Structure 1
Amino acid sequence: MAHTVTAGLATMQDDLAALYRDLHQHPELSLQETRTAGLLARRLRDAGFDEVAEKLGGTGVAGVLCNGDGPVVMLRADIDALPVEELTGLPYASRVRSVDADGRDVPVMHACGHDMHATCLVGAAALLAQARDQWSGTLLVVFQPAEELVRGARDMVADGLFERFPKPEIVLGQHVGPLPAGFIGYGTGPVMAASDSVDITLHGRGAHGSRPEASVDPVLMAANVVTRLQGIVSREVPPAETAVVTVGRLQAGTKENIIPATAELGVNIRTYTPQVRTVVRAALERVVRAESQASAAVAEPTFRWGASAPALVSDPDSTRTTMAAFAAHFGQERLMTMPQVNASEDVGVFGETLGVPTVFWFWGGLETQTVVSALQEGRLDALPSNHSPHFAPLVEPTLNTGVEALVVAALTWLGEAA
Structure 2
Amino acid sequence: MISAPPELLSDLTELYQDLHRHPELAFEEHRTAARVADRLRALGCETVEGVGGTGVVGVLDRGEGPTVLLRADLDALPVTERTGLPYASVHDGTAHACGHDLHTTWLIGAATLLARRYTEWSGRLLLVFQPAEETGRGARAMLDDGLYERFGTPAVAFGQHVGPGPAGRIGYRRGVTMAAGDAIRVRLRGKGGHGSMPDATVDPVVLAAATVMRLQTVVSREIAATDPAVLTVGSMHAGTKANIIPAEAELGLTLRSVEPAVRERALAAIERIVRGEAAASGAPEPDIELQFGFPALVNDEHIADAVLAAFTEHFGKERVVPSALIPASEDFGLLTDGGRIPAAYWFVRGSDPVAYAEAQARGRVAESIPTNHSPYFAPVLDPTLATGVETLAVTALAWLAR
Which residue matches 1:206?
192
Matched, 1:325 2:310: yes
Q: In 2, distance between residues paired with 1:152 and 1:196?
A: 14
Contact 1:9–1:127 under 8 Å retained in 2: no
One-letter code of the match for 1:44? L
Matched, 1:38 2:23: no
How do residues 262-281 of structure 1 correspond to structure 2 at under 5 angstroms?
262-281=248-267
One-letter code of the match for 2:50? K
Q: Secondary structure at the match of 1:111?
A: coil
| Cα shift at 1:390 | 2.3
Q: In 1, distance between residues paired with 2:239 and 2:376?
A: 35
Matched, 1:308 2:293: yes
Q: In 1, distance between residues paired with 2:71 and 2:241?
A: 48
Which residue matches 2:61?
66
TM-score by length of 2: 0.94
| Cα shift at 1:380 | 0.5
Contact 1:82–1:148 under 8 Å retained in 2: yes
Contact 2:310–2:394 under 8 Å retained in 1: yes
Which residue matches 2:103?
117
Which residue matches 1:101?
none
288 and 88 in structure 1: CA distance in 2 versus 1, 3 angstrom threshold: closer
Identity over the aligned pairs, expressed in percent? 52
Q: In 1, distance between residues paired with 2:195 and 2:18?
A: 54
252 and 34 in structure 1: CA distance in 2 versus 1, 3 angstrom threshold: closer
Stretches of 4+ aligned residues off by more than 6 angstroms? none
RMSD of aligned C-alpha atoms? 1.9
Matched, 1:378 2:363: yes
One-letter code of the match for 1:184? I
| Cα shift at 1:209 | 4.3
One-letter code of the match for 1:12? L
Matched, 1:159 2:154: no
Which residue matches 1:56?
51
| Cα shift at 1:234 | 1.7
Contact 1:84–1:111 under 8 Å retained in 2: yes
Matched, 1:92 2:76: no
Q: In 2, distance between residues paired with 1:368 and 1:211?
A: 58
| Cα shift at 1:405 | 0.4
| Unpaired runs of at least 5, structure 2 | none
Matched, 1:404 2:390: yes
The number of aligned residues is 401
The superposition leaves residues 12-41 of structure 1 with CA deviations (integer Å, 9 ceiling, x where unpaired) of 222222222222222222222112111111
How do residues 249-288 of structure 1 correspond to structure 2 at under 5 angstroms?
249-288=235-274
Q: In 1, distance between residues paired with 2:237 and 2:376?
A: 29
The superposition leaves residues 346-388 of structure 1 with CA deviations (integer Å, 9 ceiling, x where unpaired) of 1111113562122111112222111111111111121122222
One-letter code of the match for 1:22? D
| Cα shift at 1:308 | 2.7
The superposition leaves residues 38-76 of structure 1 with CA deviations (integer Å, 9 ceiling, x where unpaired) of 111111111122x21001111110011122222111000
Q: Structure 2 residue aligned with 1:16, among 12, 16, 35?
A: 12
Which residue matches 2:122?
136
123 and 254 in structure 1: CA distance in 2 versus 1, 3 angstrom threshold: closer
TM-score by length of 1: 0.90
Q: In 1, distance between residues paired with 2:226 and 2:255?
A: 17
Contact 1:230–1:245 under 8 Å retained in 2: yes
Q: Structure 2 residue aligned with 1:29, among 16, 25, 37?
A: 25
Q: Secondary structure at the match of 2:265?
A: helix
7 and 195 in structure 1: CA distance in 2 versus 1, 3 angstrom threshold: closer
| Cα shift at 1:213 | 4.0
One-letter code of the match for 2:69? M
Which residue matches 2:347?
362
Contact 2:4–2:390 under 8 Å retained in 1: no
Q: Structure 2 residue aligned with 1:234, among 203, 220, 236?
A: 220
